[in-house]
Amino acid sequence: MAKIYHVNLTEEERESLLQLIRRGKPPARQVTRARMLLLADEGKTDAEIRGSLCSSIPTIQRTRRRLVEGNLEYALNERSRCGAPRKLEERQFLDFVQ
């Protein structure tokens, strides 16, 4: 299957990703995405990346797409989620806890 989204990182982006990986503080998903992008930039196939990082092909493709359509920050970070609506009002919760 031909790749639709090709990753071509600039030197600044590459250095930024390498620093992110070396720091050891960011969330694991962010580090995994950074590694995906670095391997993709090296010309690795999605199957090779999957084998190296134990990730799924759709996740790799989605990360590539987010880089090409957006930017590095968009590719590395998750979108905010609205979350589930509250099931109890604050007063009901306090009554329940006591």
Query: What span, in angstroms and rounded, lies between the C-alpha atoms of 74 and 13?
Result: 13
Mapping DSSP to helix (H, G, I), strand (E, B) and coil, where does residue 81 land? coil
Q: Give the pLDDT confidence of 11-33 residue by residue, as tens digits.
A: 999 999 999 999 878 899 999 99
- Model's pTM, two decimal places? 0.76
CA-CA distance, 15 to 4, in Å (whole number)? 25
Q: Which of 4-13, 23-32, 51-60, 82-91 has the lowest mean pLDDT?
A: 82-91
Average pLDDT over every residue of 75-79: 87
CA distance linking residue 54 with residue 35, whole number of Å? 12
Using CB atoms within 10 A of its CB, is residue 41 exposed (0-12), middle (13-18) or buried (19+)?
middle
Structure tokens at 96: 């329940």
